[in-house]
Structure 1
Amino acid sequence: MLQPRTNVAIFSLFLVLSPSLPATESAIGVNWGTISFHRLRPSAVVDLLQQNKVQKVKLFDADPGSLRALEGSGIEVMLGIPNEMLAVLGSSSVASDLWVRQNVSSFVGKGGVAIRYVAVGNEPFLSSYAGQFQNYVMPALLNLQQSLAKANLAGYVKLVVPCNADAYEADLPSQGAFRPELTEIMTQLVSFLNSNGSPFVVNIYPFLSLYGSSDFPQDYAFFEGTTHAVTDGVNVYTNAFDGNFDTLVAALTKLGYGQMPIVIGEVGWPTDGAVSANLTAARAFNQGLINHVLSNRGTPLRPGVPPMDVYLFSLLDEGAKSVLPGNFERHWGIFSFDGQAKYALNLGMGNRLLRNARSVQYLPSRWCVVDPSKDLSAVTNHMKLACSVADCTTLNYGGSCNSLGAKGNISYAFNSYYQLQKQKSQSCEFDGLGMVTFLDPSVGECRFLVGVTDASSAAIGTHWRGVLVWVLVLWGVWVFEV
């Protein structure tokens, strides 16, 4: 998930009848993002997935460490290709062959990684991209499909393109249609998906509809019933998810693909960083969603046919993500960065609640706080510096640490920086304003974290460094080929 969704229209009835879809049994998977200051060892994350019986995981790039950790696990993988790589992959069949060989063929096989999907780009049609990646999607798909065929994997690994919900629009679901400028490429895309047996992957975020509009009815974002139900003909919509989903169904039907299977690539609710982002709301939404999907009720336009699969966003908090969309961006995890469950959640895997990560190795139990005996008139710059490097999003309005007071805010910032620096003594100096304490300064739901020792020192920006390396490698291949 990259930007707030602009499509808030999620209401009403679709009048065009299409042939019924076969009933499917939905699976609940998770998105595993790695843009974190404190990244757990991949093997610890895979163990966490297995402990919680998660059978499907979606990765945003081909991180070798994550793929190696998934070997032999039996967990089905949707492997992502970042948008920045689409141009080169679409321009060079040699580059496409190389990517498939290194990231798919070398991992798939007996005792290997169960890579079942490759996600070609991530929300490449997002309206805020202004068409930046749009023309690269189909060429990349075609080259990658040929590369999979050469590797004898085209029947096993399916290509998909995760789309943002702003790819389609309507005031009512029955009027659902793809944005006019996307009609041609969406027709090409769904034809390709259909001919290769691939589902349509969409990311749906009722939270962002609520966050982005003061007029959006809050109870309509959840699944417990609403006083704002939308009745249209014989159909009644009681939650935003179903309305959004059926808007997509209508859009696909207008292109002649009303029966195409749909996978929810991302859906979830953050726990911090905004007024409506908290533990109670996140649990209510995610548990309501899981119960709704696994009930097999489907939606008004697809009764008895729920989404093919649903990938919760996300598994872990990612404290190094951009906060351009909002401070909540770093707090989508059902687990905190260290693999500890934030709230009781039943994933539908054998009627049990989330289990915490095992054998997490923490730094010593000590924290950096402001020395209350010191003159704090010059502390502002130190605090700004700490927060420019570490994560201080919980201090902002709507955050769990918003009520700490001035000294509490300073201490939180100092400690965040101190833990990021692996508790190096000099990282708590701040010109004599900081001091180390062995008493946990956490208050209520405001947690002063302690870092983990098994986090990779190169975790920050791993995603983008990996992208840059591959872009350079593939660009060299493309130049050589031309």
Structure 2
Amino acid sequence: MAGSDRRPAVGVVLASLLLLAVGGGVGLLPAAEGLGVNWGTLASHPLPPRAVVQMLQDNGIKKVKLFDADAGTMEELAGSGVEVMVAIPNNLLDLLTDYAAARDWVHANVSSYSFDGGVDIKYVAVGNEPFLSSFNGTFLNVTFPALQNIQRALDDAGHGDAIKATVPLNADVYNSPKDNPVPSAGRFRSDIADLMMEIVQFMNQTGAPFTVNIYPFLSLYDNDDFPLDFAFFDGNGSPVVDNGIRYTNVFDANFDTLVSALSSAGVGSLPIVVGEVGWPTDGHKHARADYAERFYAGLLRKLAANAGTPLRPNQYVEVYLFSLVDEDAKSVAPGNFERHWGILRYDGQPKPDELSV
């Protein structure tokens, strides 16, 4: 598929999505400034990297999060002005517990692109949600050593001041007790509490952010009794009141549960990056285009206003939408919706009658 044939239509959709943030005096550019997208490639016919990079540039998207360090993708990102979170897949974490292997990885995937006019790498994502309960502890003993080795290798190569190693984690690494389900009671999951303490203390020392994936859609998917309106940002649902603070949406409540967990670990001011957030458009009764539009409209207005959350008010939040395109080769084990997170179809074209303004 020729990238030049696809860019105009694709560009219209991304621009339209960002324009959902317009309203109440909020314009397009402030929303775009802090906004990134996840670029997944688990598709039967992945979009050409050159076309995707041009699409990002055309729409002022200045941040992208990858799931690997594919050479073709990295080469196209060179000189693009797009800030990159490059990633290490979970299946490499065990190998990277050896420092020599970590040093070689950094040389091949960071140093090789770090030149004038090269790739603007800001983060290295060490693994992807490695502590999911469904992994049954497979990566518990290797993630932290790999994180340490990658950051050390970045430091030794002279990149450590500009590039930080982080671990994108699912929001299930923290929770509130069932008898007190409020954000202020947030703590790290009991089975990994000690490990999480080590990781966040290390991130605090290195200046890396805590990267978390937050999915209000999954609150609905996992619980038929979850109040629908609480998944969105328009304040139509009944609030959760926590020590006088009113939470009107699950995103803020989830984010502040993490803030409380970090505070309980002694690193309450650790920066937080939202590595993934989005809404699917098919594959479940709540995976609908109108719900996706409602969700993105509220999220983007929030980002454009730098509203923050009750525990971190009036703060810029770095957010990566999940995701840029549908991925028809993803596993549907979690649910059929997994292949429909994109704001674009598999082929990079607009979804008919979806996510439009």
State the match for 2:102 in structure 1.
Answer: 96
Distance (whole Å) between structure 2 residues aligned to residue 100 and residue 85 of structure 1: 13
- State how 1:106-121 maps to structure 2 within 5 Å: 106-121=112-127
Once the two structures are superposed, what CA deviation does each residue of 1:21-78 show, in whole Å capped at 9, x if it has no partner?
xxxx971100000000121111011111111110000000011111111111010000
- State how 1:138-287 maps to structure 2 within 5 Å: 138-170=144-176, 171-287=181-297
> Which segments of 5 or more consecutive residues in structure 2 lack a partner in the other structure?
1-31
Does 2:143 align with 1:134?
Answer: no
Out of 44, 47, 52, the residue aligned to residue 59 of structure 2 is 52
Secondary structure at the aligned position of 1:78 is classed as: strand
Q: Which has the larger displacement, 294-303 or 313-322? A: 294-303
State the match for 2:35 in structure 1.
Answer: 28
User: Are the structure 2 counterparts of residues 26 and 242 from structure 1 closer, same or farther at C-alpha, using a change threshold of 3 Å?
Assistant: farther
Once the two structures are superposed, what CA deviation does each residue of 1:322-364 show, in whole Å capped at 9, x if it has no partner?
000000000101111222233446xxxxxxx8xxxxxxxxxxx
Secondary structure at the aligned position of 2:302 is classed as: helix
AA of the residue aligned to 1:178: F
State the match for 1:336 in structure 2.
Answer: 345
State the match for 2:93 in structure 1.
Answer: 86
Shift of 1:145: 1.8
Distance (whole Å) between structure 2 residues aligned to residue 286 and residue 255 of structure 1: 32
Shift of 1:293: 2.1
Secondary structure at the aligned position of 1:135 is classed as: coil
Secondary structure at the aligned position of 1:36 is classed as: coil
Secondary structure at the aligned position of 2:61 is classed as: coil
Shift of 1:146: 2.0
Secondary structure at the aligned position of 2:93 is classed as: helix
Max Rg structure: 1
Shift of 1:187: 1.0
Distance (whole Å) between structure 1 residues aligned to residue 287 and residue 328 of structure 2: 16
AA of the residue aligned to 2:41: T
Give the paired residue count: 320
Distance (whole Å) between structure 1 residues aligned to residue 70 and residue 194 of structure 2: 33
CA contact 2:182–2:242 (8 Å) conserved in 1: no
Once the two structures are superposed, what CA deviation does each residue of 1:188-207 show, in whole Å capped at 9, x if it has no partner?
11111111111110000010
Distance (whole Å) between structure 2 residues aligned to residue 145 and residue 259 of structure 1: 20
Distance (whole Å) between structure 2 residues aligned to residue 306 and residue 240 of structure 1: 18
AA of the residue aligned to 2:129: E
CA contact 1:321–1:329 (8 Å) conserved in 2: yes
State the match for 2:328 in structure 1.
Answer: 319
Secondary structure at the aligned position of 1:184 is classed as: helix
AA of the residue aligned to 1:289: L
AA of the residue aligned to 2:332: V
Distance (whole Å) between structure 1 residues aligned to residue 203 and residue 33 of structure 2: 20
Distance (whole Å) between structure 2 residues aligned to residue 41 and residue 144 of structure 1: 29
| CA RMSD in angstroms, aligned pairs only | 1.4
Distance (whole Å) between structure 1 residues aligned to residue 85 and residue 202 of structure 2: 18
Once the two structures are superposed, what CA deviation does each residue of 1:356-383 show, in whole Å capped at 9, x if it has no partner?
xxxxxxxxxxxxxxxxxxxxxxxxxxxx
Distance (whole Å) between structure 1 residues aligned to residue 320 and residue 88 of structure 2: 17
Q: Which has the larger displacement, 144-153 or 310-319? A: 144-153
> Which segments of 5 or more consecutive residues in structure 1 lack a partner in the other structure?
1-24, 346-352, 354-482
Does 2:289 align with 1:298?
Answer: no
AA of the residue aligned to 1:324: A
Distance (whole Å) between structure 2 residues aligned to residue 341 and residue 158 of structure 1: 35
Secondary structure at the aligned position of 2:341 is classed as: coil
Shift of 1:306: 4.1
Secondary structure at the aligned position of 2:87 is classed as: strand
Q: Which has the larger displacement, 140-149 or 102-111? A: 140-149
Secondary structure at the aligned position of 1:44 is classed as: helix
Once the two structures are superposed, what CA deviation does each residue of 1:255-303 show, in whole Å capped at 9, x if it has no partner?
0111111100000000111111111111111121111122112111111
Distance (whole Å) between structure 2 residues aligned to residue 251 and residue 172 of structure 1: 12
Give the TM-score, by structure 2 length. Answer: 0.87
CA contact 2:197–2:265 (8 Å) conserved in 1: yes
CA contact 1:26–1:306 (8 Å) conserved in 2: no
Once the two structures are superposed, what CA deviation does each residue of 1:209-231 show, in whole Å capped at 9, x if it has no partner?
10111100001001112232112
Secondary structure at the aligned position of 1:106 is classed as: helix
Secondary structure at the aligned position of 1:256 is classed as: coil
Distance (whole Å) between structure 1 residues aligned to residue 33 and residue 54 of structure 2: 23
Does 2:81 align with 1:74?
Answer: yes
Distance (whole Å) between structure 1 residues aligned to residue 69 and residue 242 of structure 2: 45
Give the TM-score, by structure 1 length. Answer: 0.65
Secondary structure at the aligned position of 2:141 is classed as: helix
CA contact 2:175–2:187 (8 Å) conserved in 1: yes
CA contact 2:324–2:343 (8 Å) conserved in 1: yes
Distance (whole Å) between structure 1 residues aligned to residue 335 and residue 133 of structure 2: 17
How high is the sequence identity, in percent, across the aligned residues? Answer: 54
Distance (whole Å) between structure 1 residues aligned to residue 304 and residue 88 of structure 2: 29
CA contact 1:26–1:310 (8 Å) conserved in 2: no
Distance (whole Å) between structure 2 residues aligned to residue 26 and residue 300 of structure 1: 22
